[in-house]
Amino acid sequence: MFRRVACVLAVVLMVVGSARGAETAAERETRMAWWNEARFALFVHWGPVCLKGTEIGWSRGGERRGTGGTGEVPLAVYDNLYKEFNPTKFDAKEWVSVAKAAGMKYLVFTTKHHDGFCEFDSKLTDYKVTNSPFKRDVVKELADACHEAGMKLGFYYSPPDWHHADYRTERHAKYLEYFHGQLRELCTNYGQVDILWFDGLGGSPKDWDAQKLVAMIRELQPKIIINNRVGLAEDHDTPEQEIGKFQYGRPWESCITICNQWAWKPNDGMKSLQQCIGTLVRCAGGDGNLLFNVGPMPTGEIEPRQVTRLKEMGQWLAKYGESIYGTRGGPWRPGNWGVSTRKGDLVYVHVLNWGGKAVKLPAMPKKIVSSRLMSGGAVQVKQDDEGVTIDVAEGDRQPIDTVVELKLDGSAMDITPISGPASLSTGKKATASNVFQNQSQHAAGKAVDGDSDTRWATDAGTSAAWLEVDLRNEVAFNRVVIDEALEQRVQQFELQYKDGEAWKTILNGTTIGANWEREFEPVTARVVRLNILKATEGPTIWEFAVYPAKK
């Protein structure tokens, strides 16, 4: 995989267009239908690098032409790992079985990463799995297992190749012959291929001769779905290691790891079941898919604890899958409270954060005729001109996701996505007294970016801190919502506004927790501050939202 900066480059350099030719909107909708309904899939990053337990591709030493930097494993060591690669416990059918048990609908496998090693029996190189002690064509066995099980099959392929002598040199045209030739092999020798997942490191169409390449692929595999990482927009977007934004106009798929590293690493931190389900649900609620990655071990087996987690997700989907598969995001846009999905005349409200109270959603244009708590128990739903209030007794609330089914008096599919009042603080300039290790991913702005999966964090041991937001103009506000991350670290705080050079307190409190909300008498100010006076451990906040007073 590539780093987030490369994702940005891919978007900047991407050509708006496609090599799809004269395909009509209806034909495209038919071709994409199964993918849009699938919602959940398995990503697999695997290669000889698992013998070292370091990151695939990126840990390779030597020159990275076109990218810069170098990895920690010496070139002579990395490029010869395949000579020791003998995963005798690899069982393609078992991998597919795990994916199916997880409730996944397609599988994408790394046929070649940036390190150039091929997991298939390419006739164009000797740097391949069939020249390892293992000698078997992994891609063929996996393709056969997917076809036999009815699992949709995808091939990841990296256009960059730091191993190939011609890549990004004066002989780059020779590399393109090799690159296109390997794609012809993959699209010819392995039966039906449903997905091609490029990882182009932001290259332009010219870098890859992309129009010609994609035209060839679509001729060989007319039903194929291609992502946006070969310099062309093609079929869908690919946010990496983050949940995509709510987006109806164009399909998207978040690629996210179950652990921290894409390839296998001993004792790598693994996401909890709550994190895994929350990620899947938030992807579906944003109208996107989740491509969830595992990194098999040197033996060829998926790590048992990862298998257990995936099967736990499958058990959850066996009960609640109808609220995920075949749905569209909405009608309510995602919020700190959770997300909604819809299908026909049904809306599924996924409450991920209760914040100790009922969930209040903006008004919707259709009448709710019945409601059901999918886990069993009673749900109270009140609908009026002000909005929709949903409440479930604490004993019936689920620790991961409380799913409420709402039946409407008409189709939910023609409702324009509904937003609540916009937070005045979202997207505004934020500063803080402390940022965890000065890391940009934990900067003050992460608490006001409208993304409930990013957070402002402070250094361990921080017992007091402040978060300040400039609203740009003097504006009246009377409500605040604060979503604290992790456990309740905040023990004493105050909400303040700046009056001239002085800070004045609007309200104060002790603990915050998830989705904490308060209303107060309207205040008119430009600068507002969360002043944390006491915390047990470095405080961290998902979102700090200030809402306008009603006129």
Check the CA dihedral 379-512-269-237 and report its sign.
positive
Q: Is the model's pLDDT at 20 over the cut of 60?
A: no
Q: What is the pLDDT of residues 47-81, one digit of tens each?
A: 999 999 999 999 999 999 999 999 999 999 999 99
Mean pLDDT, residues 350-371: 92
Mean pLDDT, residues 93-97: 98
Q: Is the model's pLDDT at 11 over the cut of 60?
A: no
The CA distance from 516 to 207, in Å, is 50
Q: For residue 12, what pLDDT band results from cuts at 50, 70 and 90?
A: very low
Check the CA dihedral 125-292-261-225 and report its sign.
positive
For the chain, list the domains and their CATH numbers: 4-323 (3.20.20.80), 328-408 (2.60.40.1180), 429-548 (2.60.120.260)
Mean pLDDT, residues 142-170: 98
Torsion angle, CA of 149/302/121/176, rounded to 10 degrees?
100
Mean pLDDT, residues 423-443: 94
pLDDT of residue 354: 87
pLDDT of residue 415: 96
pLDDT of residue 551: 66
Radius of gyration of the chain (CA): 25
Contact 227, 198 (CB under 8 A): yes
Q: What is the pLDDT of residues 370-387, one digit of tens each?
A: 999 999 999 999 999 989
CA–CA distances in Å: residue 380 to residues 333, 345, 361, 463: 21, 19, 13, 40
Q: What is the pLDDT of residues 452-488, one digit of tens each?
A: 778 999 999 999 999 999 999 999 999 999 988 867 7
pLDDT of residue 452: 72
Q: What is the pLDDT of residues 215-252, one digit of tens each?
A: 999 999 999 999 999 999 999 999 999 899 899 889 99
pLDDT of residue 527: 97
Question: Which residue from 189, 112, 122, 210 is spatially nearest to 155, judged by alpha carbons?
Answer: 112
Q: Is the model's pLDDT at 4 over the cut of 60?
A: no
Q: Is the model's pLDDT at 3 over the cut of 60?
A: no
Mean pLDDT, residues 283-305: 98
The CA distance from 242 to 29, in Å, is 26
Least confident of 254-263, 287-296, 354-363, 422-431: 354-363
